């Protein structure tokens, strides 16, 4: 609440009882510059409201002033191109400390090729990297912490070997030390490693979660290669296909274009076979 206190004091308000709806509305108007993400602004609003509710309960306020509502803007779908992804990986040596480079590289590979959200990726257990001996591959088998939805995603052999080789001093987790809160490691890695890395690679995310671009890359790549939306939804761990449609509907045209090309190619093959039969 330090920012709220500083703002109130700049207007000569030094006691909680001096906080008014008008003052709070003006204070909230400063948030877009401080917090580009509407999701972050909504979280800040929750904290301010909790503080005001506490003040009301201990009778420092006669009523809880109304705070302006925050409309959460959905983050845009921003998949990385092959060149952008290469730039991201190539920026690791110059951006990340040597002792963390292998872990950060493996984390990015994991999110790109599994579609896991950053929190699920950072708290991945080694036992959740399952070897599928019948197919000669490994898969990530876990549950999304956000929804509890089961996820099972095969990953490329080189990515699996990279993950299995990561050492962090904790035999249970691939990246997490197991200490502190799970939410804290997400914030810490996003701030210390991913944000500087995206900046060094000159990749923008328009104020939204940078790590989500890796999840978008995974999903869009599958759609453009003709994987049905229903299957992509399962791989992403969405509770409903409506969520998948909401975020990736515009990419379905690219998938349809590719399917159209494949169908039209079949026409040529069919006509070629018909001509051959006609000449026999």
The domain containing residue 38 runs over which residues? 2-57
Say if 89 falls within a structural domain.
yes
167 shares a domain with 111: yes
234 shares a domain with 97: yes
pLDDT of residue 39: 75
Say if 71 falls within a structural domain.
no
111 shares a domain with 225: yes
Say if 148 falls within a structural domain.
yes
CATH of the domain at 89: 1.10.443.10
Say if 90 falls within a structural domain.
yes
The domain total for the chain is 2
pLDDT of residue 209: 64
pLDDT of residue 74: 67
Say if 157 falls within a structural domain.
yes
37 shares a domain with 91: no
146 shares a domain with 246: yes
93 shares a domain with 48: no
Say if 39 falls within a structural domain.
yes
pLDDT of residue 232: 92
Say if 132 falls within a structural domain.
yes
245 shares a domain with 163: yes
Per-residue pLDDT of the chain (280 residues; tens, 9 = 90+): 889 999 999 999 999 999 999 999 999 999 988 887 787 888 899 999 999 999 999 999 999 999 999 887 766 778 999 999 999 999 999 999 999 999 999 999 999 999 999 999 999 999 999 999 998 999 999 988 777 889 999 999 999 999 999 988 889 999 998 888 887 888 899 999 999 999 999 997 654 568 889 999 999 999 888 888 899 999 999 988 998 888 888 887 666 676 777 788 888 766 666 666 666 5
Say if 269 falls within a structural domain.
no
pLDDT of residue 75: 65
Structural domain ending residue among the three candidates 57, 73, 90: 57
Can you give the pTM of this predicted structure? 0.69
pLDDT of residue 207: 47
* Per-residue three-class SS string for the chain: CHHHHHHHHHCCCCCHHHCCHHHHHHHHCCHHHHCCCHHHHHHHHHHHHHHHHHHHHCCCCCCCCCCCCCCCCCCCCCCCCHHHHHHHHHCHHHHCCHHHHHHHHHHHHHHHHHCCCHHHHHCCEHHHEEEECCCCEEEEEEECCCCCCEEEEEECHHHHHHHHHCCCCCCCECCCCCCCCHHHHHHHHHHHHHHHHHHHCCCCCCCCCCCHHHHHHHHHHHHHCCCCHHHHHHHHCCCCHHHHHHHHHHHHHHHHHHHHHHHHHHHHHHHHHHHHHHHC
């Amino acid at each position: 609440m330090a920012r709220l206190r500083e703002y109130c004091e700049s207007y000569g308000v030094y006691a909680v009882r001096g906080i008014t709806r008008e003052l709070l509305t003006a204070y909230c108007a400063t948030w877009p510059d401080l917090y580009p993400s509407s999701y972050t602004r909504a979280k800040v609003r929750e904290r301010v409201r909790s503080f005001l509710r506490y003040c009301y309960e201990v009778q420092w306020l006669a009523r809880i002033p109304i705070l302006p509502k925050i409309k959460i803007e959905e983050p845009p779908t921003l998949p990385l191109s092959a060149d952008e992804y290469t730039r991201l990986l190539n920026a690791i040596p110059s951006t990340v400390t040597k002792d963390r480079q292998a872990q950060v590289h493996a984390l990015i590979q994991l999110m790109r090729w599994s579609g896991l959200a950053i929190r699920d990726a950072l708290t991945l257990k080694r036992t959740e990297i399952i070897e599928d001996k019948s197919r000669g591959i490994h898969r990530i088998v876990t549950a999304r912490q956000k929804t509890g939805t089961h996820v099972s995603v095969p990953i490329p052999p080189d990515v699996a070997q990279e993950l299995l080789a990561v050492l962090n001093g904790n035999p249970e987790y691939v990246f997490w030390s197991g200490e502190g809160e799970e939410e804290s490691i997400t914030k810490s890695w996003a701030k210390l490693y991913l944000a500087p890395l995206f900046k060094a690679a000159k990749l923008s995310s328009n104020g939204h979660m940078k790590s989500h671009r890796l999840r978008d890359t995974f999903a869009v790549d599958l759609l453009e290669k003709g994987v049905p939306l229903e299957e992509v939804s399962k791989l992403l761990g969405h509770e409903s296909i409506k969520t998948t449609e909401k975020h990736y509907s515009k990419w379905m045209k690219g998938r349809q274009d590719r399917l159209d090309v494949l169908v039209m190619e079949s026409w040529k093959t069919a006509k070629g076979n018909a001509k051959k039969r006609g000449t026999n």
